Structure 1
Amino acid sequence: MTASQPGGTAVDAEEYPILVEQIDGVQVITLNRPRARNAINLATAEAIAAALEELDSRVDLVAGVITGAGGTFCSGMDLKGFLNGERPSLPGRGFAGIVEEPPAKPMIAAIEGYALAGGFEIALSCDLIVAASDAKFGLPEVKRGLVAGAGGLMRLPRRAPYHLAMQWALTGGFISAEDAYRAALVNELTDPGGALEAALAIAKEIAGNGPLAVKATKQIIVESVDWTLDEQFVRQRELSEPVRGSEDAKEGARAFTEKRAPRWQGR
């Protein structure tokens, strides 16, 4: 079996820690260590970071999806590597090459099976989560005398009700996909095996929109959390006005009046 790595080079899929595909403006990253339940080692973190750099640098890619091979998403850090002194964290990007610096473009997590510890924290660093109905989430670090240090404790209370987030983090127990959906942590539930297809459908819908507008929209939503009331519209204009004056904005208006699909150029 062959696939591609960041940059488009063909590789033996079984020897590369992630697989990368580009489908209709969407980059799909598949964690490819199923025998290790897609645990993250240093090589995987470096590969994810390279893929995200490619996603952000390519005009033809508008959104991303991250998923796992073999029926599970990710079990967290590779403990064998950890015991050998390996830390799957990169300067500036953090654990798995994503949790401290997610891509500037929208990223969707497609969850089958387990998303635990660092695997859950990868999902929480994404903008949307699609999960199979039998998926399980969790931050079990406290059960091992550890602290979930890859963003989960900061992001979870912003994604789910405070008291639920506190219970889940302090007990370290499993969170069912149904409970996560009811708490609005998960955008969409699917039948088992259907998470990637559903995530791709959302990502393709995003990718059909103006790429500059999509990127700026995500940036405003993410950054406005820290804006004061007085600076909100000033900061928003700094990001929205360049898009309003872009060639893509003119193309969007032309396409609407001419009743055709727009041809985005990313400028």
Structure 2
Amino acid sequence: MKKVTLFVCALAALTVFAGCSKKEAGDNSLEVLKSRGEFILGLDDSFPPLGFRDSSNEIVGFDIDLAKEVSSRLGVKFRAQPINWDSKEQELATGNIDCIWNGLTMTEERKEALSFSKPYLKNAQVLVVKKNSGIKKLSDMAGKKVGLQAGSSASDAVEASPDFKRSVKSIIEFKDNIMALNDLEIGGVDGVVMDLIVANYAIKTSGKPFEVLSEGLSPEEYGIAFRKGDVKLTNEVQKTLEAMAADGTVAKIAEKWFGSDITVIGK
């Protein structure tokens, strides 16, 4: 999903500053969370089916259901905290949230700056087009307009595909994938680069005449990101997820949102 902007230096500085006493006292991230009694998840609340607002304006989704169950098993309350996605590293580093859990793509740069769980979902950046558009492969987008979510992994995928980037007429950024797909529907763009999981869900639930090209831009994995020093909390959440996978809870939640268990937890 969304791209961590180049805040590595700033994040490192904030982490070092905020973490000096922690290094002396040791990692007490799990104890602090349990003492506070609340697990705060930072997310973009417009990223279905992982985290989004339903018709009642409640934040729901696959990641939300997983995190709620993790919170229950940790013995704490759960709170979904919508954040400005471009500022998510600062939100985490300053302690406003406990983790970033919202289809976050794991990259080497992010692994250097953050403490990650193991991957829980495999994903890919793909191109969504209108059915019967005549676009069957990425090279068919030559001279055409591409849409994508600003600050997302779709942007990374396009940057990592220089031939594709050079071939298109223009790249148009949108606030979220829903706006990009709406523009695709009215012909403002000819294709939208986005997460495969999100694309499949959008096509299934909207009934709009879209399709995903079989040729993708890049494979990726989703993980849960914590502050670099919060190893105990990271490990406890991972341990809890693996227990949930072993007793069938993860599969049940996945089937609710995806129709089958597509997770890679404990596999």
What is the TM-score of this pair, normalised by structure 2?
0.25
Higher relative contact order (CA 8 A, sep 6+): 2
